[in-house]
């Protein structure tokens, strides 16, 4: 089994957060934050800044804030994730209207949980935007059908 190391980046503007409606797997047909896999030469924060720019056209001008470290496991060898989840409050640039990963939209912070989002995201999202000290570490365990079995704060 190989663990995938990834980032998610929640860009916060006024009382809206940037979300992406995925047009491909994983998370096809669901809303998630932009992000992607950490490349061998980069740190998680470097990945977060790069992915934000590549997927959205936005350049982080302030320091991304690490909010969560999330581990996802399952019996499936290709569903082993380690995610670093960031919040970005300062950025510049024009929003990319032609993102190959999915469709981007600014969503009111308090409406995100009403969207179709992955099971784990629905649990950890409040920790991203609540303003409490971070980071928080969480573990999510899935069954072979990728249904959430258990989760905990570690």
pLDDT in tens, 106-154: 999 999 999 999 999 999 999 999 988 889 999 999 999 999 999 999 9
pLDDT range class, residue 49, cuts 50, 70, 90? very high
Mean pLDDT of 12-18: 95
Reply yes or no on whether the pLDDT at 1 is more than 80.
no
Banded model confidence at residue 103, pLDDT cuts 50, 70, 90: very high
CATH architecture of 4-153: Alpha-Beta Complex (3.90)
The reported pLDDT for the residue numbered 90 is 96
Mean pLDDT of all residues in the chain? 94
pLDDT score, position 99: 79
Q: Residue 107: what pLDDT?
A: 98
Measure the CA–CA gap between 2 and 139, rounded to whole angstroms. Answer: 17
Has residue 34 got a pLDDT over 90?
Answer: yes
Going by pLDDT thresholds of 50, 70 and 90, the confidence category of residue 97 is: confident
Cα→Cα distances 14→11, 89, 97, Å: 10, 9, 20
Selection from 8, 17, 147, 149 nearest residue 68 by Cα: 8
Cβ-contact 28, 102 below 8 angstroms: no
pTM for the model: 0.94
pLDDT for 81: 96
Write out the two tokens for 28.
């096809």
% pLDDT > 90, the chain: 84
């Amino acid at each position: 089994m190989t663990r995938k190391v990834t980032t998610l980046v929640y860009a916060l503007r006024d009382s809206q957060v940037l979300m992406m409606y995925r047009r491909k797997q994983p998370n096809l047909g669901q809303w998630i934050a932009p992000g992607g896999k950490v490349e061998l030469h980069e740190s998680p924060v470097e990945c977060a800044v790069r992915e934000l720019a590549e997927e959205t056209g936005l350049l982080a001008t302030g320091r991304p804030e690490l909010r969560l470290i999330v581990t996802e496991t399952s019996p499936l060898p290709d569903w082993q994730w380690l995610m670093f989840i960031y919040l970005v409050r300062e950025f510049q640039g024009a929003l990319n209207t032609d993102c190959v990963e999915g469709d981007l939209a600014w969503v009111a912070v308090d409406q995100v949980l009403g969207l179709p989002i992955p099971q784990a995201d629905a649990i950890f999202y409040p920790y991203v935007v609540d303003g409490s000290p971070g980071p928080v570490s969480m573990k999510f365990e899935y069954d072979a059908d990728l249904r959430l079995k258990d989760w905990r704060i570690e």
